[in-house]
Structure 1
Amino acid sequence: MTKFKILYAEDDETLAFLTKDNLESNYDVTHCIDGEKCLESFKNNVYDICILDIMMPKMDGFELAEKIRKINADIPIIFLSAKILKEDRIKGLRLGADDYLVKPFSIEELQLKIEIFLKRSQKITILDKNIYTVGKYNFDSKNYLVYTDSEKISLTQRESDLLKLFLDNKNVVLKREQILKSLWGEDDYFMGRSLDVFISRLRKILSNEHGIAIENLHGIGFKFSITES
C-alpha cells in the first residue's frame, strides 16, 4: 500500500533525524533543511500533509505556509516551533495552519495529530447527482450509460461508479487507495488490477474528447483532468 507523504521542514538536523526516523515506519517523509528548499519540493511533488518549523534560514515557516496555502488551500499544515508566545500561535493559525505544537513536543502527540488531519483531508467528494456532461457525451450514472443523440455506450456498475467519482472530483488528484476504498471498501491487489482495466476502458471511450484526460500519477494515483473551453 502506498504510504501517505509528509513534507517536513526543520533546520535542526538532530531533531529532524529523530522525528523523521519515528515517522518513517508509517509515512514517506521528505525532509528539507530550509524554507526555500521546502517550497521547491512542494511545487514539484504531491504531499498529503506539511510539518513546518518556523525559525528557518532563507524563508521562515510563516512565509512558507502562506506560499503553500496559495498553491493548495486544503493540505493540512502543522507548525512545530520553539516560539511559545500566544501571538505566534495565533499568527500561525491565521495563516491557515491546522495545529501548532510547541517544542519540545511528544512524538506520540504529533503522530496522533497527523493521523487525525490525514483522515479529515482524505475524504472524497461524492455528489448527489446523476446526469453529467463529459465532452460531447451525457453520462447517466444511475443507469450506467454514456450517450449522445446517436450513440449509446453501456458501462458496468463499477465503471459507472468510477466515472462518477472522477467527475465529482475533476482536476483533483485521487490516490489509488482512495479510489479502491471508495469503490470496493478496501485496498486490495486484485481489485487494483480491475481498477486498471476500468480506467483503460474509460480512456478508450473518451479518447477523442479534446481537453479530457485521465492522468496516471506514478506511485500516487489518478487525476481526471478537464480543460474548460
Structure 2
Amino acid sequence: MVKILVVEDEMSIRSFLKINLQRNNFNVIEAETGEEGIRLAKLEDPEIAILDVMLPGIDGFKVCEILRNEYQNIGIIMLTARTQDIDKIMGLEFGADDYMVKPFNPSELVLRIKAILRRMENHIEEEKQILTSGSFKLDVYSQKVYKNNEELDVTPKEYMLMKIFVENEDKAFSRDELLDLVWGYDFVGDSKIVDVNIRRLRAKVEDNPSNPVYIETVWGRGYRWKKI
C-alpha cells in the first residue's frame, strides 16, 4: 500500500485529506508541523508527501527542499490558499512535483497523486535498463558498454554476449548455447564464430586479453563471466 505523508497544521483539512486518501486505499501518515513531517519521513519512508506551504516552524518550502535533497524519488505536492504565481514557482524550484490551491477537489488530488506514481514507476523502469558488474555498466536502451565509465567500442554481437554474461554472472554457457542466444537457432555457419567474437570481446574488456579475468574459459563447456 502506497504511503502518503500529509503535513498540514489545520486539523479539519488534515482529516479531510486523510478520509479521502484512505478511501482510495492509500496509507496516510499525519504531521502538523514541518519538523514532525521531516521526522516521520525518515521513519516511514513515504512514496508521496503532501505539504501545506504555511506551517508553524519551518514552512512547506523548506520541508520540500529538505525532503527532495534526502529522498530523490519521493513525490511532492504543495498545498496553499494563495493564488500568486510566485508560490507555484517557489514550490517547483524547491523540488515539488505538483501544486494545488485550496480549496480543491479531492478527486483531482487523487488523480495527480496517481500521475506522479506512474512517473515514478516509469523512472524506476528506466533505471532497471542499466546493468552493472564490477567496473562494467551496460545501458540496455542505447546498447552501450562502459568500463570504468568509459565507453567501449563493441559490435552488436559483442554487446549481446556482454549482456548475456552480465545478466548471468558465474554461469557457464556452452558454445552452442551462445550461438543460439546471439546468432539465433536458424544460424547456418561455423560455431567457431563464437570463439572469434569472444576473442575480440576479450581484447576490449580485459586488461590482459592473454590472461583473461572476466571472460573465463570453462574447459569442456564454453565460457562464463566471472563475478568480481
| TM-score of the pair, normalised by structure 2 | 0.58
Alpha-carbon separation, structure 1, partners of 2:31 and 2:21: 15
Could you tell me which runs of 5 or more consecutive residues in structure 2 were left unpaired when the two chains were aligned: 136-161, 174-226
Could you tell me which runs of 5 or more consecutive residues in structure 1 were left unpaired when the two chains were aligned: 135-139, 155-208, 210-229
Matching of residue 146 in structure 1 with residue 169 in structure 2: yes
CA RMSD of aligned residues (A): 2.6
Alpha-carbon separation, structure 2, partners of 1:27 and 1:146: 39
CA separation of 1:146 and 1:95: change in aligned 2, threshold 3 A: same
Q: Which runs of 4+ in 1 moved over 4 A?
A: none
The equivalent of 1:8 in structure 2 is: 6
Instruction: Give 2:128's aligned amino acid.
Output: I
Alpha-carbon separation, structure 1, partners of 2:163 and 2:94: 40
Alpha-carbon separation, structure 2, partners of 1:141 and 1:20: 46
The equivalent of 2:134 in structure 1 is: 133
The equivalent of 2:18 in structure 1 is: 20
Instruction: Give 2:10's aligned amino acid.
Output: D
Following superposition of structure 1 onto structure 2, how do residues 72-221 of structure 1 map, counting pairs within 5 Å? 72-123=71-122, 124=125, 125-127=127-129, 129=131, 132-133=133-134, 142=164, 145-147=168-170, 152=171
Report the CA distance between 1:153 and its aligned residue.
Answer: 6.9
Alpha-carbon separation, structure 1, partners of 2:43 and 2:111: 27
CA separation of 1:57 and 1:153: change in aligned 2, threshold 3 A: farther
Q: Deviations over 1:161-213 (max 9, x none)?
A: xxxxxxxxxxxxxxxxxxxxxxxxxxxxxxxxxxxxxxxxxxxxxxxx9xxxx
CA separation of 1:96 and 1:141: change in aligned 2, threshold 3 A: same
Residue 37 of structure 1 aligns to a residue whose secondary structure is helix
Instruction: Give 2:87's aligned amino acid.
Output: D
The equivalent of 2:30 in structure 1 is: 31
Alpha-carbon separation, structure 1, partners of 2:168 and 2:63: 46
The equivalent of 2:142 in structure 1 is: none
Report the CA distance between 1:141 and its aligned residue.
Answer: 5.6
| TM-score of the pair, normalised by structure 1 | 0.58
Q: Deviations over 1:84-103 (max 9, x none)?
A: 11111111111111111000
Q: Percent identity?
A: 34
Alpha-carbon separation, structure 2, partners of 1:112 and 1:145: 40
CA separation of 1:141 and 1:34: change in aligned 2, threshold 3 A: same
CA separation of 1:108 and 1:40: change in aligned 2, threshold 3 A: same
Aligned length: 146
